[in-house]
Structure 1
Amino acid sequence: MKTKILSLITLVLLLTACGTKKTAVASAETAPAAKEAKTVELTPELAEGKNLYENSCVKCHKLYEPKKFTKEEWAPILVSMGKKAKLNETQLASVTNYIHSQL
């Protein structure tokens, strides 16, 4: 009976996660000239990058808004932090693509 309940819960969670539309919204503070917030729909790759960024980086320090730094400033930060977080090349590319999509 417990197995059936756990299986049902797992199935519901999986279906819920697959059906959820994930978007990121730039805040008005990061774009004061913009009257409306820019919405970026996250592809599966970008969602994975966001997940890696949020779960790997927060282990050691607070998360920074992607717009805090320029693309050029992010490059050495991501390489250095990627090594410390033990991200492989694919994972680092996902995080980099996510950060760049938010700029």
Structure 2
Amino acid sequence: MKAKILILAAVVLLLASCGTKKASPATPATPTVTEAAKATELTPALAEGKNLYENSCARCHKLFEPKQFTQEEWKPILVKMQKKAKLDDSQMASISNYITSQL
């Protein structure tokens, strides 16, 4: 019975990960770099930080936009939350780098 449940869960996860992609809006004829475009262009390291932020922090409370606080305000928040979320230093560095990149 456990094997059937695990197989079913794996199939559901596979199907969910293969979901439809949202269509991106049409790009203007003259390329301009906006703040929104910069925010979406994440390096793999920043993408990992974003993923950790969204998955670790959203388990307990709503996510705050990185720009909602200054870099100085984020530091004590992240230190406090690291203990509660049981994240190691490398994971916290990744989250901190992501948040800093969005300010």
More strand by share: 1
Deviations for 1:73-92, whole angstroms, at most 9, x for unmatched residues? 00000111111101100000
> Which residue is 1:60 aligned to?
60
Is 2:85 aligned against 1:85?
A: yes
5+ long unaligned stretches in structure 1: 1-5, 17-35
Tell me the amino acid that sits aligned with residue 53 of structure 1.
Y
1:39 is displaced (CA, Å) by 2.2
**Which runs of 5 or more structure 2 residues have no equivalent in the other structure?**
1-9, 19-33
What RMSD over aligned residues (CA atoms) do the two structures have, in Å?
A: 2.4
TM-score using structure 2 length: 0.64
- Post-superposition, which runs of at least 4 consecutive aligned residues in structure 1 deviate over 2 A? 36-40
Q: Distance in 2 between matches of 1:83 and 1:45?
A: 22
Rg larger in structure: 2
Separation in structure 1 between the aligned mates of residue 84 and residue 102 of structure 2, nearest angstrom: 23
AA at the equivalent of 1:55: N
Name the counterpart of 2:30.
none
CA distance in 1, matches of 2:36, 2:59: 28
Letter in 2 for 1:38: A
Paired with 1:53 and 1:84, the residues of 2 have a C-alpha distance of 13
Q: Note if 1:96 corresponds to 2:96.
A: yes
Structure of higher RCO (CA pairs closer than 8 Å, 6+ residues apart): 2
**TM-score, length basis structure 1:** 0.64
